[in-house]
Chain A
């Protein structure tokens, strides 16, 4: 992987994808590989898991992020701090595909995660276009077609002459296309292809794709599935890593049972990892606040991410829980998951992070080790304000 940093053009996807997650069927092949090589990673010679490259997020006239750049190395615990409204969560949303950056790019493992325009896409578009064209023609002339093919050949009490019926159906269909009639299928084709491509283009970079590529996250305002059990919440997180399909579940084929057993084992393991296995069968909504935050982490880890984004994991936790959380974050890093966290709680930030970036009013004002940040006058000013003189 580190070779990619040096060579801009060689990495074109296929090998990257397979290297990233061999068992990830769904994401493979959909994820773009646009490895332009990262300036930051090259400079340091370390592998960058996440690169935020001059990302600007604008909502109408409001600028939430302005040209924010940073890069997170593999195996690092990286903190994003800043006063309220500095655009930290917006940045998370831009990274995870909930928002599209107005300007700039987000790269994960050196590539922008998005769906590629494959030949299969255009083939599918063409097929949908043809189907729409035929559908439009038939539905516009449905009465005539019925009269000519079925009505004309159907005599009550006698068998139906299928050959003659189909022939006259085809002839009538062709006769509708004569003259200016070709406009209908043409418009149908254009609409079908256009609508499909438009929908595809709008969904090039969706949260589910990014999650499947290997970025998991938690939310600032906890978003658990409160009516589901703890175990089920974790199993939802595992969704993309499981393969039981619709008919396998419907018919309860053997594969359903084997995968169910395996996934429950794994889910319980994850719950044990965050210390919640004793309550696996309870509703997630009934958990206390601190445990909900830990469950959210377990759910995020269930998708086997390479990168975990934690949005204020210590918010609302008491001091003991906070210490446990710091330990948990270190253990997550220990299982070769890179962690990026947004946090206000300075003990957590200074205690666990390797590097910190400071945002203020959507702009990056500093980056460095906890020591550097602690002594940076700009950061102190952003948090505490400037001393008024005179």
Chain B
């Protein structure tokens, strides 16, 4: 039990990231950078990836249907809040209910499938992702089909209703969500539960022989991940005041979340945050900025397909993944053993 000073805590990357993030709206305000608005998407994806990190990073189950739980969260939030439905809850109770619905959805999918191993689970989750999309699309009387549910209310805090006029409150609120979920993940990671998850990831048979009920622990991880993804979905829907069409929650979203976890570092919470910043920051901030800058310079026209960097997005993602696998297979910030991990700190 080593006592750590405030300074060595501050020097940690995750705390440093938080401190920088706290100042971003201020910089925006002074220098008109316009970073807060696109970074909100970054934060939502960070939450989604943190959820996936519990399932894939901690417990080692390949999960290819995270977008489905995000969709369930978004639609649950939509149905619970939108005024065309009878429930008409406000933001906070709806968010709480959405979390519970996420847990239930995760448990329902997990119960029959947790005995499956490796690739089989990946196939099941992949199929689940497609099924959820199709159900949302075709259950038109309830989900409004491809129109999506709108308008949805934004968050309310201290009597202040978040609107479209300023992205800053949104940014701080979503940052707060990320911080809370990081703390939840970290608390779980450094506990008996998290140890059991990591043991299952390391060697499931050995873990079972050590008295760990693997199926139950995996289900716990799966439901936790589903709940966090549902929160991400609700925040996403609330950010855009609409659930959007079901196709917004397609396989690409699941893969993007997986890429964030892999690029960031499987099982490393700070790594996932950095991964989300790198991947979504690149896709939603850097590429559009580059595109408009190139157009301003008159180097490419808007109609040019190859000249638009946005169209190179997935090519770059693929390339980055290949390079990562070749040169840094454990991710940007791999989960460190010993000093930082587990109960030994």
Contact = CB atoms under 8 A, between A and B. Distances in A.
A303 interface: yes
Contacts of B195: 228, 232, 235-236, 239
Contacts of B214: 208
Contact of A223 (B84, B142, B206): B206
Given A207-B205, A236-B196, A239-B192, A229 B210 contact: no
Given A206-B208, A228-B198, A229-B344, A250 B220 contact: no
A81 B196 CA distance: 33
A208 B338 contact: no
B205 A242 contact: no
B196 A239 contact: yes
B343 A231 contact: yes
A282 B342 CA distance: 12
B187 A250 contact: yes
Q: Which 4 A-B pairs have the closest CB atoms?
A: A249-B191, A160-B86, A240-B211, A211-B211
Contact of B209 (A156, A157, A207, A226): A207
A146 B142 contact: yes
Interface string A19-47: 00000000000000000000000000000
Contacts, number: 147
Contacts of A146: 141-142
Interface residues of A, number: 60
Interface of B: 83-86, 112, 115, 139, 141-142, 184, 187-188, 190-196, 198-199, 202-203, 205-215, 220, 335, 337-339, 341-344
Interface stretch (A62-70, A256-264, A338-346, A382-390): A256-264
A223 B205 contact: yes
Contacts of B187: 249-252
B215 A246 contact: no
A299 B210 contact: yes
Contacts of A264: 343-344
Contact of B207 (A236, A246, A249): A236
A156 B83 contact: yes
A195 interface: yes
Nearest to A156: B84
B193 A246 contact: yes
Given A227-B198, A281-B339, A242 B192 contact: yes
Contact of A303 (B139, B211, B339): B211
A208 B213 contact: yes
A334 interface: no
Given A153-B86, A232-B343, A227 B337 contact: yes
Nearest to B108: A135
Contacts of B203: 223-225
Contacts of B115: 199
Contacts of B192: 235, 239, 242, 244, 249
Contact of A162 (B86, B142, B213): B86
A280 B344 contact: yes
A150 B211 CA distance: 48
Given A228-B202, A229-B341, A281-B344, A236 B212 contact: yes
A6 B240 CA distance: 75
B211 A208 contact: yes
A232 B201 CA distance: 14
B13 to A, nearest CB: 20
B193 A260 contact: no
Main secondary structure of the interface of B (DSSP, over half): helix
A151 interface: yes
A151 B141 contact: yes
A112 to B, nearest CB: 18
Contact of A207 (B184, B191, B208): B208
A242 B341 CA distance: 19
A227 B335 contact: yes
Contacts of A207: 205, 208-209
B211 A239 contact: yes
Contacts of B190: 249
A100 to B, nearest CB: 14
A293 interface: no
A17 B212 CA distance: 20
A88 interface: no
Contacts of B210: 208, 211, 216, 236-237, 239-240, 299-300, 302-303
10 contacts: A142-B139, A206-B208, A211-B211, A216-B210, A229-B337, A229-B344, A235-B195, A236-B210, A281-B339, A303-B211
Contacts of B198: 225, 227-228, 232
Contacts of B196: 236, 239
B247 to A, nearest CB: 21
Nearest to B203: A223
A98 interface: yes
Interface string A294-313: 00000110110000000000
A208 B142 CA distance: 44
Nearest to A256: B191
A252 B188 CA distance: 9
A290 to B, nearest CB: 19
A228 B58 CA distance: 12
